[in-house]
Structure 1
């Protein structure tokens, strides 16, 4: 074993050991306080399982203080779950109905972001525990006291014991990226007006640091609130800005022109001010106004739309200059969007930077409505969040029904097994169940031996429990599900042996319940979306590109007609459909990352291994942003020749999108295959009209950026460093 694996092995055990010690302290303190100090076995049970729920079963990302803050906010929800579960356990049918409704609601709440998604399994356990007999509403007070004590101890211990240094926040990452953009813009505004290869690579590396996969889960801005949405918007705009700076065409004859240089200097100033704002500084209002004014001057000089409804005519710039002007104006637009989003992310509804309502529709929206938008966007069978919620709710309901009808002893364990062993793909579920059953069998044999030897001597179990708990919570997460199930089998036996007279048959019951729960999990894993996000990602990406192709064609027609043909502006159905397609594709992609293929190979029906999914998502974002920018009124007419050229180029890009979409779609008439490779250059595909205005070149620049995205979708396509490799 080399040094790196040894260090990683030691780090894994060290981190797991710290978490295990915290959970053990909380669970043991609560259990012994109520069981032996106050003689309240019900409260003891709930104190222990509350700690196990949020500390062991839940996977809340972040540092101890972040986990403590998350649990503190969820305290009212935990109380409600215990109350509802207690009163619905009166009859099997009410318990089953409650399990279906509550199980789905909790699982679907994962749309609220990584922290809430990580807490969901623990919340499920807090509802499952009181939903089983005995029906004893008179013990509700003890149940709530035990639950509250366990959660309160957990919050205190997580916040105070073994404090962990937090990773850089997303705001800090975005601030660093904004400063990198400011540095690049400064270089492009001073002789020799270009970036070196090292600078371009640094820009792409910085851009990649804002990708969700490189950001710890707890720091990802994935919530539905205004600040989270704005921070995600900031990251996207910053990545776009860095990309545009790295791809800025060289100035003809080395003379960039005073107006373009002024815009780049203003870009550098606003990027610096944005970084300061993200570091809890003042809003970048003055720098924002400076760039807006510089952009308007360049737009007027090059003959494009500006704030002035009657811009000056183009003074006959050569095409190379107009192309650079168009690219510089795109850089300015991305910088303005970045600054507005950053101010909104830091100051919320108190932001002072001018906010374009078309892009920042959520800025003045009431928080419950933002939640409603998020929930409604995923309320369909094509959403992986909906699929996961339906799968786990149906499985838990079936487990509760079987436990109630067959009166399984300790049927709670069967439902818990269903919760912990059901995965998003059938292959992964089956692999997990096999390991879990083997581990449970080994744990049952150990349990039977311990119970037979110790008999009714409760003191033995009381002494062994905290030691075993520390061992189980340290080794289980590192060794995998088989070890975890086996160690947990012994753990629950040590707990229940202190609550009632123990017999060796407790091990038999535990084995039976895990077998029943595993079987139910396997059945629903087979029947309900057994391939997880693999096919759904292909389908969502194909739909995204189809919607994007429609908008490309419509935008080209509207630009060519000078705005006479409305190309589905922001808020119209075309853009809303693409926005929803992007959301569904992003959620499917996020789940796809978490689904390991068995034995390192490709899962059955897996998405083609030649796809760069990140480029697919960026194509959707770039389609939306470019269309909105080009359709900002007023739109000067292009003339017949330029309009025909734009239409031809738009049709070509849309056609390439549809070809890639057909290759991705698993439900297409033709089988999905390798993504076609394209030449990203549009030169020669349509005649370049003489004397075309700047708007023509802005449209061509946008279409070329989309073609670049399409070439990166295929593995081995052209692009910046690292883009030719497949990125899961």
Structure 2
């Protein structure tokens, strides 16, 4: 006989069902405790909406316990918002000004990463709630008590009720696995047969891909401004760069005993990668491998050994320098990610500028960097604050009944693009209409029988917060309309007209959201991503020209903080990364097709430009670099100019305001066609610069899709092996 089959929810509903149970219990317990236990409708309202706002409207990523940790510091923030909202709501003009300012500030906190961004809508609602009648500052105590109890119940429910069992891999473990792979790569390259097989290289690609922010769940993404988050993101970037450079290591020139074999470098990279993996996994790791890698990196920066002047040796030396640099960056960043500011003692001041800074300084750097109209975070904050202020003004001037719903609709239906807002509004209105019909029917049939509403509300909330997030905004609006009708029917006698007010408020809020979505940056991050990517490549072109010119001129290199132009290029990179992150969350189909350009390759080009310039112009200790002779000078200058020209051409094609024709340009042929043979007598600095420029051309080919086309063409003309 078979056992009784277990009832299993579909995978899409499992997580939302657990979260629905938590928010339903927290909201219902607080609501019924104050309404029927202490006869306080004010505290009951705030207990209910505190739980709903921070769990139903907010989208804080992670497991229940991760969300509980985020909610603990949210409690005092809610006290401040409720207090300010209570006192500013007495006059319409002060309420509108407060909505404009506080709405902007709360929306702008999204620059702090997915968790602040997820909590922002709920915090907005906590300020909106006291902005409407009754205008009674004397009830502030009840409001604060109710909100505190509602949030406390939600935190306890998130932390202890129906715990989640996530199957995601933490980012530190992802980085540790990449370090393990780097160790295997370096070990294979430093021992017979001194080469990597195609199978080994292919197996490493998923490890590198898993470190991309787009492949990491929001809860595990190191996107915050803190020292540890910045260092962990830096670790992942360095690990990806290290794996890419190890995979392209040139063959041994003359055997393992030749002066340019560089096996000591690979062994140091191997040991350092093992040490990094252990540190990331929380094991007590020694620092001997890091110190040895630093010594090897300094020796490489002084040039190849005497007698190693053959072009093949110099090419391998250039790649070995890149490998050592990436491994050292990975090791240092991992140490900072694990130990925080305590790891700053081993960090170079330029690349790891953030290592010794305190949290307020880092937050200020993040906020000030995005405080401009070219930041998508700034654009979103302006859009939502203007829409909320307009909604508050209309609600105050027209004295709309239940004007709270007007602002709630504006907040929940305004999207980052006009197209997204229009789509959400259409579906939301249909859902609200359906919900209003159900609520009106229920109110007309039941009348003032509060016991029925009290009995139906918890199961209805349970279904609402389970089905709504999965089925979309239409279902959410429909079911939430019925929920709020049952809530307000218990707070005061209500008729079927309550559903009518709800529908009118949602229609008005939708119209306001649609208007501001159309007027304020209606295309969202699409145009901004193209503009930011174009700006990034322009700064990268300037850096490429300046760096190659300084390499050709020689001179004294001193350990500066960064190479010239580093800060401008870094800021352009930050703008491009934030625009790309938002672009991934928006509907596609506007303007250039989503697959036309590889935006990830654009970001990598910015990182490679930064790192290469710092590597060649900022040595670990003072060093005198002789100027290049005429032949190498002309060669490296022309290659640098051509790489910069390619960057500018791709930049013009990306810029939405430009009129450059979108035609394929053979970037590599135009850059390296005259220099297939090295200039005689070229020193190692020439090969280091050319190796860096070659990597930048590869990035440009990835951006335009030319790399895949070239590889396809090569595979069709290359005869098959034995």
TM-score category (smaller protein): over 0.9
How far 1:317 moved relative to its partner? 2.3
Corresponding residue for residue 627 of structure 2: 637
Q: Match of 1:556, SS?
A: helix
How far 1:210 moved relative to its partner? 0.4
Separation in structure 2 between the aligned mates of residue 631 and residue 353 of structure 1, nearest angstrom? 22
Question: TM-score, normalised to structure 2's length?
Answer: 0.94
Tell me if the contact between 2:222 and 2:229 (Cα under 8 Å) persists in the aligned partners: yes
Corresponding residue for residue 181 of structure 2: 180
Separation in structure 1 between the aligned mates of residue 307 and residue 446 of structure 2, nearest angstrom? 96
Corresponding residue for residue 92 of structure 1: 92
Tell me if the contact between 1:277 and 1:343 (Cα under 8 Å) persists in the aligned partners: yes
Deviations 1:207-226 (A, max 9, x none): 11100011110111111111
How far 1:574 moved relative to its partner? 1.9
Corresponding residue for residue 595 of structure 1: 586
1:194-205 equivalent positions in 2, closer than 5 A: 194-205=195-206
Tell me if the contact between 1:681 and 1:704 (Cα under 8 Å) persists in the aligned partners: no
1:43 aligns to 2:22 (yes or no): no
Corresponding residue for residue 81 of structure 2: 81
How far 1:293 moved relative to its partner? 2.1
Tell me if the contact between 2:436 and 2:502 (Cα under 8 Å) persists in the aligned partners: yes
Deviates more, 1:291-300 or 1:671-680: 671-680
1:402-417 equivalent positions in 2, closer than 5 A: 402-417=394-409
Tell me if the contact between 1:578 and 1:620 (Cα under 8 Å) persists in the aligned partners: yes
How far 1:9 moved relative to its partner? 8.3
Corresponding residue for residue 261 of structure 1: 263
1:678 aligns to 2:667 (yes or no): yes
How far 1:370 moved relative to its partner? 0.9
Q: Match of 1:519, SS?
A: helix
1:647 aligns to 2:637 (yes or no): yes
Tell me if the contact between 1:570 and 1:628 (Cα under 8 Å) persists in the aligned partners: no
Q: Decide whether aligned partners of structure 1 residues 250 and 545 sit closer, same or farther in structure 2, where only a CA change above 3 A counts.
A: same
Q: Decide whether aligned partners of structure 1 residues 368 and 153 sit closer, same or farther in structure 2, where only a CA change above 3 A counts.
A: same
1:122-133 equivalent positions in 2, closer than 5 A: 122-133=122-133
How far 1:350 moved relative to its partner? 1.1
Separation in structure 2 between the aligned mates of residue 249 and residue 28 of structure 1, nearest angstrom? 66
How far 1:581 moved relative to its partner? 0.5
1:613 aligns to 2:605 (yes or no): no
Corresponding residue for residue 295 of structure 2: 293
Q: Decide whether aligned partners of structure 1 residues 608 and 474 sit closer, same or farther in structure 2, where only a CA change above 3 A counts.
A: closer
How far 1:683 moved relative to its partner? 4.3
Separation in structure 2 between the aligned mates of residue 468 and residue 233 of structure 1, nearest angstrom? 46
Tell me if the contact between 1:396 and 1:419 (Cα under 8 Å) persists in the aligned partners: yes
Deviations 1:705-728 (A, max 9, x none): 101111111235249999x9xxxx
Q: Decide whether aligned partners of structure 1 residues 680 and 273 sit closer, same or farther in structure 2, where only a CA change above 3 A counts.
A: farther
Separation in structure 2 between the aligned mates of residue 712 and residue 281 of structure 1, nearest angstrom? 38
How far 1:610 moved relative to its partner? 1.3
Q: Which runs of 5+ in 1 are unaligned?
A: 1-6, 304-313
Tell me if the contact between 1:234 and 1:341 (Cα under 8 Å) persists in the aligned partners: yes
Separation in structure 2 between the aligned mates of residue 609 and residue 132 of structure 1, nearest angstrom? 47
Corresponding residue for residue 64 of structure 1: 64
Question: TM-score, normalised to structure 1's length?
Answer: 0.93
Deviates more, 1:358-367 or 1:524-533: 358-367
Corresponding residue for residue 312 of structure 2: 320
Corresponding residue for residue 537 of structure 1: 529
Q: Match of 2:491, SS?
A: coil
Corresponding residue for residue 524 of structure 1: 516
Deviates more, 1:480-489 or 1:361-370: 361-370
Corresponding residue for residue 193 of structure 1: 194
1:385-400 equivalent positions in 2, closer than 5 A: 385-400=377-392
Tell me if the contact between 2:341 and 2:357 (Cα under 8 Å) persists in the aligned partners: no
Separation in structure 2 between the aligned mates of residue 109 and residue 192 of structure 1, nearest angstrom? 53
Corresponding residue for residue 157 of structure 1: 157
Q: Match of 2:656, SS?
A: coil
How far 1:640 moved relative to its partner? 2.2
Deviations 1:164-198 (A, max 9, x none): 12422111111111111011110010111111111
Q: Which runs of 5+ in 2 are unaligned?
A: 1-6, 715-722
Tell me if the contact between 1:712 and 1:719 (Cα under 8 Å) persists in the aligned partners: no
Corresponding residue for residue 222 of structure 1: 223
1:333 aligns to 2:319 (yes or no): no
Deviations 1:256-313 (A, max 9, x none): 746600110110000000111111233552111111223344454616xxxxxxxxxx
Separation in structure 1 between the aligned mates of residue 473 and residue 579 of structure 2, nearest angstrom? 25
The equivalent position to 1:667 in structure 2, one of 652, 657, 663, is 657
Tell me if the contact between 1:193 and 1:256 (Cα under 8 Å) persists in the aligned partners: no
Separation in structure 2 between the aligned mates of residue 645 and residue 446 of structure 1, nearest angstrom? 77
Tell me if the contact between 2:276 and 2:334 (Cα under 8 Å) persists in the aligned partners: yes
Q: Decide whether aligned partners of structure 1 residues 456 and 608 sit closer, same or farther in structure 2, where only a CA change above 3 A counts.
A: closer
Separation in structure 1 between the aligned mates of residue 286 and residue 265 of structure 2, nearest angstrom? 16
The equivalent position to 2:468 in structure 1, one of 468, 476, 500, is 476
Deviations 1:439-459 (A, max 9, x none): 101111111100000001100
Q: Decide whether aligned partners of structure 1 residues 664 and 456 sit closer, same or farther in structure 2, where only a CA change above 3 A counts.
A: same
Tell me if the contact between 2:562 and 2:618 (Cα under 8 Å) persists in the aligned partners: no
Separation in structure 2 between the aligned mates of residue 197 and residue 165 of structure 1, nearest angstrom? 36
Separation in structure 1 between the aligned mates of residue 549 and residue 643 of structure 2, nearest angstrom? 13
Corresponding residue for residue 719 of structure 2: none
Q: Decide whether aligned partners of structure 1 residues 525 and 9 sit closer, same or farther in structure 2, where only a CA change above 3 A counts.
A: farther
Separation in structure 2 between the aligned mates of residue 135 and residue 201 of structure 1, nearest angstrom? 66
Separation in structure 1 between the aligned mates of residue 161 and residue 642 of structure 2, nearest angstrom? 61
The equivalent position to 2:334 in structure 1, one of 329, 334, 342, is 342
Q: Decide whether aligned partners of structure 1 residues 677 and 419 sit closer, same or farther in structure 2, where only a CA change above 3 A counts.
A: farther
Tell me if the contact between 1:543 and 1:661 (Cα under 8 Å) persists in the aligned partners: yes
Tell me the C-alpha RMSD between the 2 structures.
2.2
